[in-house]
Amino acid sequence: MRLDATRRLSWTACAVGAWVVLVPAHAFLSGPAEDWKSLYNQGVTAIESDDLGSARLFLERANALQPNNPRVLLALASVYFKTGKGPRGLQKVQTLLGLRGLDFRTLMAAGQLLMGYGYLAKAAEAFKLAQKIAPATVERKPSPVYFAKLFADLLQESKQNQEAVEHLQRLVTSEPNDPGHSFRLILMLARTADFGRSYQEAQRALEKFPTDPQIVLGYALACYFTQHTDAAESAYLRLIQMEPESDQPYFALGNFYTDIGRFDEAAKDFGIAVSKDPRNYLNHYMHGVALFRLNQPVKATSELRKALELNPSHADSCFWLARIALRQGKTDEARVEFERTIKLEPKHIGAYYQLGLLYARAGEVVKSEEMFRIQRKLNEDVHKGIIAERMP
């Protein structure tokens, strides 16, 4: 069985749900490396540029200097969630919620983050704390109906998730020879943030279906979710042994190495995926991004342009070409590519952010303000107006 149905999943399942995008109050700030505010701002900038590996490093260093700073905790939690490190993200949010004197916006942002990643009970806790202090902390007090609907939505989503899990469990029992049911149950448990059960189900499924590619993939993901990194790597390597001529296991392994910051190995595996199927634009795209992170701009540019030849509407390829041009000091070229990005993807938050900076540096204040206005509006649409800002 080929992994066509799970190609996208192998790339996205490690980040189930939504994540908090942090909106800039101004441009880059400078400061010494040991300045936690500077580290925080660099981490936020990396998030907005979709460089989550760098974001994690900056924010972890900021967190070491300021272990109880709410904004640092929230930003770091969002990165952990985004990169599949759910338990670490939850730990940071729990630390956050245990602090005194939290404001309404921070509590709401924490609730939205938790809700997006399936921690519904913990999200309700954050929202209840926010509800208690809302009258004293916001100009326009949310009505009781707002919170009633919010809690009703949480209850409904929790009920639907539980019903889905129970349905899949019944299918696993009634049709025990169908590995697809076990695979979907593994992923559904992960989606509801029940990573421990997801891992246990994956272990059972692997014992029963040791040669089924989707089960091996599900096991790899469950291992990653629960920080069994060595076991996850072994499972991805096993996929390659099972389907050595397919590009897809190499693509999945490349994503795994990217998530844990092993970019040399990620680039190697994406390169093999390209050789196995040079017609797939995603192989070229991910290879190009990995090469960019290895500071190989010429090769990265070549791969990203190949991705665009195969899929001219792929906005993210334009975005990374723009980032390469920006790093090379080619601001005019970068500007063109960022503008092309938002034409292809009008909701590309990172591109609006970068354009805002470029227009500001060029003295085009009106255009810069417009880019940041659109970015803020997009964040409001995604996160219902809850925005965490860069530190002053």
How far does the chain reach from its first CA to its final CA, in angstroms?
A: 53
CB atoms within 10 A of CB 241: 9
Asked if residue 27 lies in contact with residue 360, where contact means CB atoms within 8 angstroms, the answer is yes
Three-state SS for 44-110 is HHHHHCCCHHHHHHHHHHHHHHCCCCHHHHHHHHHHHHHCCCHHHHHHHHHHHHCCCCCCHHHHHHH
Per-10-residue mean pLDDT for the chain, 392 residues long?
38 32 33 70 77 86 93 91 83 92 87 84 87 63 69 80 90 94 92 88 96 95 90 96 95 91 94 97 96 95 98 96 95 96 91 91 94 78 36 33
Question: What is the amino acid identity at position 234?
Answer: S
Asked if residue 59 lies in contact with residue 79, where contact means CB atoms within 8 angstroms, the answer is yes
Cα separation, 7 vs 114, whole angstroms: 26
- DSSP 3-state assignment of 389? strand
DSSP 35: -
Asked if residue 288 lies in contact with residue 254, where contact means CB atoms within 8 angstroms, the answer is no
Which H helix or E strand runs over 181?
helix 179-191
What does the pLDDT read at residue 9? 37
CA–CA distances in Å: residue 306 to residues 300, 302, 303, 319: 10, 6, 5, 14
pTM: 0.73
What does the pLDDT read at residue 226? 87
What does the pLDDT read at residue 52? 80
